[in-house]
Amino acid sequence: MISRRHSVFFKLHAFFFLALIVLILLFISALAEQERQKFHLLTHRSMELSRIIDETKAQTCMEKNQELSEAGFKVIETKTPQCEAIILPPPMQSKLRSRNVKVTIYKDDSGFIYELSEGHCTMLYRDMAEGKTYYFVWFLFFALLGGLVNMYLLLWSNLKPLKYLYEQIQRYGEGKEILNTANNGKDEIALISNALYDALEKQNKLKKSRELFLRNIMHELKTPITKGKLIVELEEPSPNRTLLAKLFSRLEHLIHQMADIEKMHAYSLVKQPHNLDLMIQNALDNLMIEPESVHVSGCDQNITVDEALFTSALQNLIDNAVRHASALPIEIACEHDHICIRNSGEPLKRPVEEALQAFV
């Protein structure tokens, strides 16, 4: 099982949340910078309005309004009920005081209002050049957020088949049938998935061909063996008759072993508790080995195995030990969770790697 921190989905989620946190921090920073720029602009517009008022004192009202209109200001009579006073940062207030600009700034739904006091007279001006609000930062934030979420969902949907592919591979490793579901995607994961299913399909065809071949071989061998056993039974009792009967029984047993081995390849094992000493005795009986040729010690415990296959493995090991022994008996010792089959014999005259190869 893949640990959580090693999973590619965990890394994808972590990357997404990290990118989301970075985006939010950048957005907050952009909003703060936008707020600073807004205060700078309000201060600049206040000084510009004060300058125009000072320069147009000697002009007529029409000329003054024309000058204010060109600068983006409009004279209004009263403030709206929704307007709220804006408190400028101390540096901006100091800058206005240094220019002798006495202005109060208000904000309502339509924009900014500047209140200038000259003696006992108070004038109100609306800034017509200033937009209602700053939309660019919000638009950029939601555009980047939408792109990030879409990229996350796209990557997640592309990586999602990995989980299903992993489960299918596990099922195949356990000997279970898997469904060949073609992936219509064009990415690397889809190509790997389709290539894997194609390879497994070819392997399944080879496996079925081998099973059919073995069934045919076993079926063809059973007929002459059965005929041989029948002929032996019709013969008069003799040592040769007994030997032939054992040989035909041995051949029949080998046929059954082939079927058992095929079960192992098909992962259809039947594991149950069995007495180890009894299985060793069955292996010796199948090999027709005399009891005095083998010394068994410490093998009276029960183990959970497939009896037929485990007995077959014991037969192979015991047969090799007896065949290559220079002196009998051989020793079968069970020590804790190990089964040791020992014999006395000549050293190998060929490399161990070569001796371990099948049918060499």
Instruction: Report the mean per-residue pLDDT for the chain.
Output: 80
Say whether 180 sits in a helix, a strand or coil: coil
What is the structure's pLDDT at 149? 94
Cα–chain center distance at 134? 43
pLDDT of residue 23: 93
Looking at per-residue pLDDT, the higher value among 19 and 37 belongs to: 19
Mean pLDDT of 77-99: 74
pLDDT, residue 2, reads 61
Q: Say what the pLDDT of residue 222 is.
A: 82
Domain ranges of the chain: 4-137, 204-267, 269-360
Rounded to whole angstroms, the Cα distance separating 332 from 289 reads 14
Determine what percent of the chain falls in helix, strand and coil, rounding each to the nearest 5.
60, 15, 25
Taking the C-alpha atoms of residue 148 and residue 154, their distance in angstroms, rounded to an integer, is: 10
* Mean pLDDT of the region 249-266: 74
| pLDDT over 80 at 48, yes or no | no
For the cut 90, the answer to whether the pLDDT of residue 147 exceeds it is yes
Domain 4-137: assigned CATH number: 3.30.450
Contact partners, residue 2, CB within 8 Å, separation at least 6: 166
Residue 301 predicted with pLDDT over 80: yes
Domain 269-360: assigned CATH number: 3.30.565.10
Compute the distance between CA of residue 210 and CA of residue 198 in angstroms, rounded to an integer. 19
